[in-house]
Amino acid sequence: MTDKINHIGIAVKNLDTSIPFYRDILKMQLETVEEVADQKVRVAMFICGESRIELLEATSEDSPIARFLEKNGEGIHHIAYQVTGLDTKLKELKESGVRLVDETPRPGAHGTRIAFLHPKSSGSVLTELCEEGH
């Protein structure tokens, strides 16, 4: 089903003040900073071994990350698993009764295709499936 943990997403209030901790203190390599306009978020991706740490900053007060921060404060937002054949995986999950946030993949950061599973189907953890290279 899954190839590996692709990244752990962490919601932050401000990327510019959060980046130095991961880059300078934890000595992680900053891979990229980009905006994903349709998700109303700006992201910074750090390399952490074979996985990554993704910092997420809301770019709009009505974004999912802004709502998460308002309700929960800064912290872990989601865990993303790398998969191959995302369309097929989503179909299989839906057929097995898993609640999906996204029934079809959508563009994610860093050239990926992504889809989220509803936390009620995954032990209250927001789960992202991502497929690289698209």
pLDDT tens string 55-85? 999 999 999 999 999 999 999 999 999 999 9
Residue 131 has pLDDT above 90, yes or no: yes
pLDDT of residue 18: 98
Q: Do 114 and 129 touch, CB atoms closer than 8 A? A: yes
Q: What is the mean pLDDT of residues 37-44?
A: 94
Quote the pLDDT of residue 109.
80
The residue range of the domain holding 108 is 2-132
Q: What is the CATH number of the domain that holds 122?
A: 3.10.180.10
Mean pLDDT of 29-39: 94
Give just the sign of the alpha carbon dihedral 81, 82, 86, 89.
Answer: negative
- How many structural domains is the chain composed of? 1
* DSSP-derived pairing of the beta strands 29-36 and 41-48: antiparallel
**pLDDT at position 133:** 72
